[in-house]
Amino acid sequence: MKKSYFLLACACALITGCKHTSSSPEIRLNQVGFRPLQEKTATIDVCTADAAPCSVAILSASGDTVWTGMASATMINPLSGKPRQLVDFSTLNTPGTYTIHLTPSTATQSLIISPRPYRELTRQALRAFYYQRTAMPIDEPYAEGYPRPAGHPDTLVLVHASAATQERPENTIIASSGGWYDAGDYNKYVVNSGYTMGVFLMAYEQQRAYYDTLHLNIPESTLPVPDMLAEAMYNIRWMMTMQDTDGGAYHKLTEPDFEGFIHPTECQKPRYVVLKTTPATLDLAATLALAARIYAPYEHVYPGFVAEATEAAKRAYQWAKANPAIYYDQPAMNEQFTPAITTGAYDDYDAQDEFYWAATELYLLTNDPTYRDEALGYCPEQFTPATWGNVAELASLEWMLHPAGAEAFAQERQTALLAHLQPYIEEAETTSVHRSPYGNRAEEFFWGCNSEGCCWRGIECLYAYQLTGNERYRINAERCLNHVLGQNATGYCFVTGFGTHSPKQPHHRLSHIYPNGPLPGFLIGGPNRERQDDGIDGVKYPKNVSADESYLDFRPSYATNEVTINWNVTLFALTAGLDAQQ
């Protein structure tokens, strides 16, 4: 939310409900599949005592040997110190299901080559948002095996004391229905939702033709609008309810403290809208300005939306300019107001990046040079990858794609992006034991690293490929996806319901209610060297576990095993960006 693989048997015994795995898999690779002409590699454990290269054979479903070769010389994982070898079987291009065999080891692993290995993965990663919908039942045939009643109608939401105004005093009742549950909990957060919608709609704009043909099987599938945009509108409409009458946006809609792992219909705690903040208001402004531009061709489906969203975005931006430094400090707020709020903070104490993004989107919508000049003035000097707490790169990517009126500036941003990617790509091609531009440094394993680190780096590579046409960037985007789908130190495919070894116990209240396993298509946060949950609710990591193995497939592990909307948006943007090229 805001946030190893291998569990020793003794550690597993200490954790109630842990799914024991006897050892880490000896062959780690993308478990979902490779395209025929894609680079194809796997990382393997050293087979022999003298660390000589392993012999590798790949067999077809009928048992015929279709490829043989030798692994690379032994490499040392710099994080764990474990010896690893790489095998490159890129010359095997025929679609099919195969089995990799190692000699002298007896280890085997299935291998899939398919013309479109990421189509269904993209579809399910997008359908994950449908499963997160609040205030409506998830019914068949749209539930596809995971029905549930409606949860949290949010028609009787209280204005928290921190958000009270003369027009809306404390405990005023407002309606703020719809939208998506943010993560494994049952709350809704404007800051994270704004970032998510930014990546969501920017992904659509880059691959319109692809998404226009992607059928999600949602209730709105009969509308003359792409399913993806219909799903996004469900959340955008909720975000608009979070704007106060003065233009400011409430930071979040939440119960005072997290509900337990119970069905959403069983939740009884009151719900509040809490404190209007500058970052939340600017995220709302940017989201609505972007949405007004993207949905313009669908005015016949959503009459009046473009004008409404445009006006709301302008009002939000003006409120933020009049209130440029109101930040969400939950401990300080709780000292002043009751009830105390202890749910996810999404605290952000610098709004320069949000001003940059909001002004950029307003310029692209209105072509008003005032917004352009303000946006360029807000651009941070230092290049930083995009996260919910730092959205500057979203604005920079928009300038790279829509440079009119600031061509030299857009070129400078592109140069910064390519310089940022260069050292990671060099690592993938020289020293990485997983042939990946991500996951080679301990600091890269943090809360939500699978998304905010690995998938986002893959998306950056896709943008670089689009801007330059250099195949090197596309290849490294695929390598990032390989990492998430199994070619990593844990051997997990970190998407629920996919691969041969995926998480079964995510920190996700909605998944918990189904006896047939977790909801499919959700990206798990992944290894986290800080292990903020260690020792809480039975969470116990093995001693001296390396950063890239600091993961538990254990429901209470919120620091490694949660799901969130902002993580899933990067998953489908990466998979779709690669699949669309087919």
Q: Would you name the residues annotated as active-site residues?
A: 185, 507, 553, 562
Beta pairing class for 157-159 and 272-276: parallel
Q: How many CB atoms lie within 10 A of CB 79?
A: 21
Q: In the structure encoding, which two tokens stand for residue 41, read together? A: 């590699």
Q: Which residue has the tokens 């002409």?
A: 37
292/552 Cα distance (integer angstroms)? 41
436/265 Cα distance (integer angstroms)? 43
Q: In the structure encoding, which two tokens stand for residue 195, read together? A: 């970032």
Q: In the structure encoding, which two tokens stand for residue 226, read together? A: 């792409």
CB 215 within 8 A of CB 274: no
**Cα–Cα separations (whole angstroms), residue 534 to 259, 315, 340, 497, 550:** 21, 44, 25, 26, 10
Q: Count how many Cα atoms sit within 13 Å of the Cα of residue 571 in the half-sphere of its side chain.
A: 36
221/213 Cα distance (integer angstroms)? 11
388/199 Cα distance (integer angstroms)? 10
Residues 6+ apart with CB under 8 A from 260: none
Quote the DSSP letter at residue 26: S
575/567 Cα distance (integer angstroms)? 13
